[in-house]
Amino acid sequence: MPSPESNVDSQTDLPARELLKLYDELTELHACSAFVMQALAAALANGGGLDERSATGGVFCAQWLNERTVELERQLKNMVSRAYASTTATGS
């Protein structure tokens, strides 16, 4: 039977792992977003605009970035809710 101390440790490790995973996902999302923005800015700055294929790709990238952002915000809200609940439960 696990000791209460090891149970507490495993509970505190879970949020740390989740936060590290979220950090990695946010970093990846930021890099992708920066790449798309730089590509768009370069295409517009050169005066050529975007051809149909590039514009379509840009739309798909923007949709993906938006969907990932919404999902990461949902995950973060869940983590905050759980952290708040555990803080108020232990503070009682």
In a domain, 49, yes or no: yes
In a domain, 13, yes or no: no
Weakest mean pLDDT among 5-14, 32-41, 59-68, 71-80: 5-14
In a domain, 5, yes or no: no
Tens of pLDDT along 43-61?
888 877 778 888 888 889 8
Q: Give 48-52's long-range contacts (Cβ < 8 A, gap of 24+).
A: none
Confidence of residue 7 (pLDDT cuts 50, 70, 90): very low
Please identify which residue in the block is written with the tokens 């149909």.
52
Written as one letter, the residue type at 71 is E
Paired tokens of 15? 């949020």
Residue closest to 52 by CA, chosen among 43, 41, 64: 43
Please identify which residue in the block is written with the tokens 């969907």.
67
In a domain, 46, yes or no: yes
In a domain, 10, yes or no: no
Q: What whole-number distance in Å separates Cα of residue 24 and Cα of residue 60? A: 22
Expressed as residue numbers, the domain containing 35 is 19-91
